[in-house]
Structure 1
Amino acid sequence: MINCALPNSEFVTRRQQFIDQMADNSIAVFFAGKEVTRSNDTEYLFCQDKNFLYLTGFNEPEAILIMVKSGDGQSFLFCREKDPFQEVWHGKRVGAEKAQSHYAFDQAFNLADFKEKFTELLGNKEQLWFCHGIDKANEQQLMSCLAKVKGQSRQGITAPNIIFDCQEVVNEMRLIKSAAEIAIMKQANVISGGAHQRAMEKCRPELYEFQIEAELLHEFARHGARHAAYNSIVAGGDNANILHYTENDQPLVDGELLLIDAGGELHGYAADITRTFPINGIFTEPQKQLYQLVLSAQDKAIAAIKPGVTLGELNDIACEVLTQGLLALGILIGDYQQLLNDKACKKYFIHGLGHWLGLDVHDVGDYQMKNKRQSRPFQSGMVLTIEPGLYIPADAIDVEEKWRGIGIRIEDNILVTDLGHENLTVNAPKSIKEIESIMAAQK
């Protein structure tokens, strides 16, 4: 299952696509992530800044990418220098020489040369591009160099008079996935779907939530997704009504449901899958009714996905199904159309229907909010989640007792294609029959 990362040609193409969108005679700067201290002299596992990763494929901390738009454009990388002593303690470094040849930058330098070289490149440029909101130390470094160039005006050197936030440019590029990206995301989904099935197979009453979490992490890692894309939610019973529950420290109770929201990260790309199933392997009748309602809402929303449709329109579809179902079950009371107009189902469906997915779990990209509706038309190459849910806390005294303490969410990852869509979440069981059959086989 372990696959190679994206080819270097992919990153070269991305850099050129970015340069093509830059203003003439401009310069852009992107910073790599930094190692973060966990405690005393230990660090969290390094996670590269996703914009930097998208444009370079270079996975070391503290590096800097410069792109210059003059002529056809050029790219420069600054990275940590080779250091035998540091490499013995902390791991191998690529170094500038290998970085230039292997990653196909026009030039590469040691990080210590950045200020001098950047100041030189900044001279006589008209615009400076970077993503606003970056680490303050990095921004101060840029402003220091800019001030130095401004101080050279007597020598006839001019400084950029426009500072441009280029985050939206990168966001738009990242929103439409290439064939190579889609291949990785498909694989991430297969790995993550297998982990959800493993969780169903291993689940038993009186195990703890963290023991099921361990099964997920095991399945991710043994197929090449060493890291979870986000902190896994393994929520038994009423814990499922806490949307971002990550304590995962409670025992699993016979007769309750288990909601798992978890996905692996493969070569930087995230899967984001949610499944809900009975801890003992058999849905009760109330659980079954609510579960099938959520599944029906998801199925109908996914079926409508194609270019030109919007997430706002899908949300309307899901709300229609949920409102009708909640009314039929007696959880909502009143006139259907009025309940729909009042968005009454949102009392129990308390989050959005989905979000973009890619290098980040909640990936970048404009949703084009108009009147609080996500009105951006889908395009081929977008990937999004569809995740309706119903949440009825244990203390919800305004509903019948049989519904209380039930939290259900079902989430798949969907690729928009030229003709419609493709569900990437192919092997995570979600029908009642599939789930009960798999869990029965393990008893």
Structure 2
Amino acid sequence: MKYHKIDSKLFIKNRKNFAAQMQAKSLAVFNSNDIYPVSADSTLPFEQHRDIFYLSGVDQEESILVLFPDCPIEKHREMLFLKETNEHIAVWEGEKLTKEAALATSGIKTVYWLQDLHKVMAELMSQAETVYINTNEHYRANVETQTREDRFTKWLKDKYPAHRVAKSNPILQRLRSVKDQIEIDLIQQACDITEKGFRRILGFVKPNVWEFEIEAEFMHEFLRNRSKKFAYTPIVASGNNANVLHYIENNQQCKAGDLILLDVGAEYANYSSDMTRTIPVSGKFTARQKAVYNAVLRVKNAATKMLVPGTDWAAYHKEVGGLMTKELLDLKLIDKADVKNENPDWPAYKKYFMHGTSHHMGLDTHDYGILTEPMQANMVFTVEPGIYIPEEGFGIRLEDDVIIQAKGDPFNLMQNIPIEADEIEALMNK
């Protein structure tokens, strides 16, 4: 791994919190992700399943975590099953976790090799009454591929049909949405790497540069700062491309006078950052561009202050919509008749600002969190309003990552990343 070792006390605490929510005489199972094939002998880079990582820190394929807090045999109350390593694997693939390294990483003392799984599970299931399975219930999930977790769940339910089944996901949705200080520090590190990338490109962008060249500058800076990749597919959208919300081609030339919408973020130790900035190709905004830019910034700043404990998700977005409506009226993009006659299910402002303002962030860019429950301290959210004007050939979005504080305004993890229009112009023209 490129990242520095994470203190195992994070994972010990996470397992303790999860176990405290489990039913009596129950066990829970968490699988690593598959390595997905491309073609021939090619594979996609491995990405660990965030749930097993959250609970163990194990960041390699073919790994299984089992939690059984009420097990009568103490050593079986938490266990790891790992792919057995040997000298041949070390030469061809690199070192895998030994039992000693797994203990240091996770704080779990009982480590078996995978070939012992079925034998040990037979003993465990004879002592358990309920088994927690781990399904993906994120509100944005749309998974067509059968995962390793899916296959294991099918095997488990077929093999042990008399056991009650419970779901891990509701517990994890709540636990993962509230961040430990160690997690906040890791997200901050991802944000700091993103800042370095952004400052790098401010001195690089000029008329006729290509979007993919800007993407490459970010990637260079991310890799040299121990990030393995973008936290999500980057958006480098110049001109009217910015009006395509998930534009990812990044294959056009940036023209003088245009704006570039940059929605990029570095990962660090599997934790995400998520930044959006909009900058002028020529190093200076036009008066109209700056007016729209500052309108978006005002909405972002006002929306940020609403992120306090107890805030209701739906009410927050409705209030942000009111702020955006005022700005669009001032910009003469909509008029009072549009507002008066608007459809309550799709208000007038949605013509120019059609997406949500915030989402949870953490191990996943769109992280776990139950949207029907009030916001809590130590949740991390993005704040990302935008105004998109195809008829004028540009779109502007601004986005920071903030932590809800127990008292006072949220803490902006991206407070050092330039965002004021004048500062961006000054840095681009140094």
Q: TM-score, normalised by structure 1?
A: 0.89
In structure 2, relative to structure 1, the CA distance for the partners of 1:340 and 1:201 (3 Å cut) is farther
The residue that corresponds to 2:349 in the other structure is 345
The residue that corresponds to 2:332 in the other structure is 330
For residues 158 and 318 of structure 2, the distance between their equivalents in structure 1, rounded to whole angstroms, comes to 52
Any gaps of 5 or more consecutive residues in structure 1? 151-158, 369-375, 397-403
Q: Structure 2 counterpart of 1:365, which letter?
A: G
Superposed displacement of residue 5, structure 1: 3.6
The residue that corresponds to 1:440 in the other structure is 429
SS of 2:336's equivalent in the other structure is: coil
The residue that corresponds to 1:425 in the other structure is 414
Q: Structure 1 counterpart of 2:371, which letter?
A: Y
The residue that corresponds to 2:387 in the other structure is 390
For residues 37 and 140 of structure 1, the distance between their equivalents in structure 2, rounded to whole angstroms, comes to 17
1:261 to 230, 252, 263: 263
For residues 65 and 197 of structure 2, the distance between their equivalents in structure 1, rounded to whole angstroms, comes to 36
For residues 382 and 126 of structure 1, the distance between their equivalents in structure 2, rounded to whole angstroms, comes to 34
Superposed displacement of residue 288, structure 1: 1.0
For the 8 Å contact 2:133–2:153, the answer to whether it is kept is no
1:378 to 375, 380, 395: 375
SS of 1:21's equivalent in the other structure is: coil
Percent identical among aligned pairs is 33
The residue that corresponds to 1:155 in the other structure is none
- Report the more deviating stretch, 21-30 or 316-325: 316-325
For residues 224 and 31 of structure 1, the distance between their equivalents in structure 2, rounded to whole angstroms, comes to 26
Any gaps of 5 or more consecutive residues in structure 2? 137-144
- Report the more deviating stretch, 187-196 or 271-280: 187-196
For residues 343 and 154 of structure 2, the distance between their equivalents in structure 1, rounded to whole angstroms, comes to 51
2:315 to 313, 316, 324: 313
The residue that corresponds to 1:122 in the other structure is 125
1:75 paired with 2:78, answer yes
For residues 141 and 294 of structure 1, the distance between their equivalents in structure 2, rounded to whole angstroms, comes to 47
1:358 to 362, 368, 374: 362
The residue that corresponds to 1:367 in the other structure is 371
Aligned residues: 415
For residues 93 and 132 of structure 2, the distance between their equivalents in structure 1, rounded to whole angstroms, comes to 33
> Who wins on radius of gyration, i.e. which is larger?
1
The residue that corresponds to 1:55 in the other structure is 55
1:110 paired with 2:113, answer yes
In structure 2, relative to structure 1, the CA distance for the partners of 1:299 and 1:149 (3 Å cut) is closer
Q: Structure 1 counterpart of 2:223, which letter?
A: A
In structure 2, relative to structure 1, the CA distance for the partners of 1:382 and 1:360 (3 Å cut) is same
Alignment RMSD: 2.1
1:222 paired with 2:221, answer no
**CA offsets per residue over residues 152-203 of structure 1, 9 Å max, x none?**
xxxxxxx42x111211111111000011111111121111122122222210
Superposed displacement of residue 314, structure 1: 3.3
1:243 paired with 2:245, answer yes
Q: TM-score, normalised by structure 2?
A: 0.91
1:408 paired with 2:408, answer no
For residues 164 and 304 of structure 1, the distance between their equivalents in structure 2, rounded to whole angstroms, comes to 36
Q: Structure 1 counterpart of 2:166, which letter?
A: F
For residues 96 and 424 of structure 1, the distance between their equivalents in structure 2, rounded to whole angstroms, comes to 36
